[in-house]
Amino acid sequence: MTKYYAAVDMGASSGRLILGHMENGRMELEEIHRFENGMVKKDGELCWEFDRIFKEIVAGLKKCKEIGKIPVSMGVDTWGVDFVLLDKDDKVLGNTVGYRDHRTEGMDEEVYKIIPFEELYARTGIQKADYNTIYQLMAVKEQQPGQLEWAKSMLMIVKKKHPEYLEQAEALLHVPDYFHFLLTGQKTCEYTEATTGQMVNAQTKDWDYEIIDKLGYPRRIFQKLIMPGTSVGHLTEELQKEDGFDVEVVAPATHDTGSAVLAVPANDDDFIYISSGTWSLMGIERKEADCSLRSMQANFTNEGGYEGRFRYIKNIMGLWIIQCVQKQLGISFAEMVELAKSSTYTRIFDVN
């Protein structure tokens, strides 16, 4: 009997559910369901539509049932750094803000007032990128209490009172961990995804609670880290009834580049890879992180990989510009390629 395995691979512009199975010693892949993704403006913030995306994941599982190819296990991978905060009732606090929102502007300087970047890099090995989880949390901490709103009935400006989200929060879940939670009801935090947030110690491969405590982030919200390949649980009873079957949810390398690098067809350490999507990542795999001053100055990053390895990489502007142009023009990527072929434009511009 053929065993099928489901992978939900989520990028910044689209997501898909793929079924894989082994046939004559080869892995055969079949796309079952594809759907659009992207940020939308909500209350002046760029946000992800996680409710809609989760419905698409469930729709993909239902299609597996329809075609009679029920997976024995499944997992979700996504982009890095973004997260949700859950309250004591497991409700999402605030908007599901994405990393391209402007809320983190200036938050790096707030963090560096407490912990210099040189110390952060020496401990975590993660490059400076002002959208990392560590700066997003500072934005939540600094900006949430009291946004100004206009009270028309009173013709005066009043302060809109919000309890601090960090005070209310009981759990921080990165995006793939949140989808695993919606599937199973289990709160976990997978290692490769967590490292992108700049709060995991490169030596211990666990949360760096000294950093967390110094910045005033509550320890309780950080879940125990799990490694790729760890079983998260089974579908909730509600989803089992809706889909018509049960499946074990197993955490992959939930940061999509971690999964991509795991698939690099190399049998030794003598290779360089380029993983290209919304971002392009070029680098190598290492057993130990390079947290040296020279590495910091070159802005290389040491992201977590399978079996506790490190993806030592350089972030390069990828296809995001192409995705934006495609969305604005309202044409397919194939049509864009044909237009490019016929173009007489000869100049080069620096995408960075």
Annotation says 256 is catalytic: yes
Largest separation between any pair of C-alpha atoms in the chain:
74
pLDDT(20) > 70: yes
Q: Nearest Cα to 16, choosing from 58, 60, 52?
A: 60
187-242 pLDDT, tens digit per residue, is 999 999 999 999 999 999 999 999 999 999 999 999 999 999 999 999 999 999 99
Distance of alpha carbon 144 from alpha carbon 153, whole angstroms: 24
pLDDT(147) > 70: no
pLDDT(312) > 80: yes
Q: What is the pLDDT of residue 323?
A: 85
189 vs 267, residue with greater confidence: 189
Q: What is the pLDDT of residue 300?
A: 96
Q: What is the pLDDT of residue 144?
A: 57
Task: State the helix-helix crossing angle for 107-114 and 133-143, rounded to 10 degrees.
Answer: 100
Confidence band, pLDDT 50/70/90 cuts, at residue 266: confident
Q: Which two tokens stand for residue 146?
A: 């009291």
pLDDT(148) > 70: no
Distance of alpha carbon 245 from alpha carbon 39, whole angstroms: 32
Q: What is the pLDDT of residue 43?
A: 93
Average the pLDDT over each of 5-14, 120-129, 166-175, 259-268 and give the range with the smallest value: 259-268
DSSP state at residue 205 = S
Burial label, 2 (beta-carbon count in 10 A; 0-12, 13-18, 19+): exposed
Tokens 């729709």 map to which residue?
A: 59
Contacts of residue 260, Cβ cutoff 8 Å, sequence gap at least 6:
275
Q: Which of 256, 268, 270, 290 is catalytic?
A: 256
Confidence band, pLDDT 50/70/90 cuts, at residue 324: confident
Q: What is the pLDDT of residue 152?
A: 34
Tokens 């659009």 map to which residue?
A: 36
pTM, rounded to two decimals: 0.88
User: DSSP H helical segments within 20-149, as ranges?
Assistant: 50-66, 107-114, 117-124, 133-143
Q: What is the pLDDT of residue 272?
A: 92
284-305 pLDDT, tens digit per residue, is 999 999 999 999 999 999 999 9
Q: Which two tokens stand for residue 293?
A: 């001053």
Tally of CB atoms within 10 A around 185: 16
Distance of alpha carbon 255 from alpha carbon 308, whole angstroms: 13
Using alpha carbons, list the distances in angstroms from residue 153 to 46, 53, 149, 159, 160.
29, 38, 12, 14, 15
Portion of the chain with pLDDT greater than 90, in percent: 81
CB 181 within 8 A of CB 173: yes
Q: What is the pLDDT of residue 351?
A: 81
Q: Nearest Cα to 102, choosing from 131, 134, 145?
A: 131
pLDDT(88) > 50: yes
Mean pLDDT over residues 165-179, rounded? 97
Q: What is the pLDDT of residue 277?
A: 82
pLDDT(159) > 50: no
Q: What is the pLDDT of residue 12?
A: 86
DSSP letters for 208-254 = -HHHHHHTT--GGGBPPEE-TT-EEEE--HHHHHHHSS--EEE----
